[in-house]
Structure 1
């Protein structure tokens, strides 16, 4: 029997892109592999330099991506909101994290998938793992497109339109 929190998470995930092609039973299976975590405002979820051993999915709240600039300032380079995946670059390429993930809401909730659980999921429920991987690819594509547009806009502003 599902707990009330698990039932709420199942209903939430049912409406997310990540789980669009999954059955409710498969969503409930996915929930057996993730850990539900809560954070308060300004709490660090994952830090710069740490190896990405966990992949996160925002359930509630907002998370800022913070970059430490060479001049020592912390700069917010993006925000992740409900329904978005984060930490996928470091998780899949096994390189140190390039941004700090910081909760920006009083009650931020995430689902955390560790590398060990992901490896088990790949073997035991490959269809679910493929859906997760495809979602990560789409998430990275959105990030790349956003950054490309921002770069193009900045270049146009700085150097003007070239004809």
Structure 2
């Protein structure tokens, strides 16, 4: 349940992380009606390997880790900071996840379940378009961070620039 206090904080947060000229306070309020709020503890699993995404997540506070798992070991392959969307790849392509999403510290998320997303698509198409733009930006941010990490790893491995 999103309280009035949560709603005011979330409107402020979303206004900072979206184009406020396009995504007005009224639209943010309408969007929040489709979501629920999740408070996670450190190491709580947000979504797991092998699952198909049935919700989109918006990281309000905290941080999420992207983790791959071998038979006896977990490896953190990325981190998602506050302000980003999570779970969009599996949500939109409906393929099983290759990574585990886990809270690396106390974390607050907005969760948009698929059934509410489908309803929002019909009732508020402009919100859906803005959400898709946000997803593209979020994926672009993830790709850029990953590309930078790979470039730095290659510099280290091949001793480039030293």
Aligned to 1:121: 120
In structure 2, what is the equivalent of residue 12 of structure 1? Answer: 13
Q: Evaluate the alpha carbon distance shift between residue 48 and residue 142 of structure 1 in structure 2; reply closer, same or farther with a 3 A threshold.
A: same
SS in structure 2 at match of 1:64: strand
What is the alpha-carbon distance in structure 2 between the residues aligned to residue 105 and residue 153 of structure 1? 26
Q: State the secondary structure of the residue aligned to 1:118.
A: helix
Q: TM-score, normalised by structure 1?
A: 0.87
Tell me what 1:72 maps to. Answer: 72
CA RMSD of aligned residues (A): 2.0
Cα deviations by residue, 1:49-94 (Å, 9 ceiling, x for unpaired): 111111100011111111114x532011111121111111111110
Stretches of structure 2 lacking an aligned partner (at least 5 in a row): none
Q: Structure 1: which 5+ residue stretches go unaligned?
A: none
The residue correspondences of 1:98-113 to structure 2 (distance < 5 A) are 98-106=98-106, 108-113=107-112
1:136 maps to what in 2? 135
8 Å CA contact retained: 1:56, 1:112: yes
Which TM-score applies when normalising by structure 2?
Answer: 0.88
Tell me the number of residue pairs that the alignment of Structure 1 and Structure 2 aligns.
Answer: 159
Evaluate the alpha carbon distance shift between residue 75 and residue 20 of structure 1 in structure 2; reply closer, same or farther with a 3 A threshold: farther
Contact 1:19–1:131 under 8 Å retained in 2: no
The secondary structure found in structure 1 opposite 2:128 is helix
* Contact 2:65–2:104 (Cα < 8 Å) also in 1: yes
- The 1:116/1:19 distance shift into structure 2, 3 A limit, reads farther
Determine if contact 1:58/1:82 at 8 Å carries over to the other structure: yes
Distance 1:46 1:36 in 2: 15
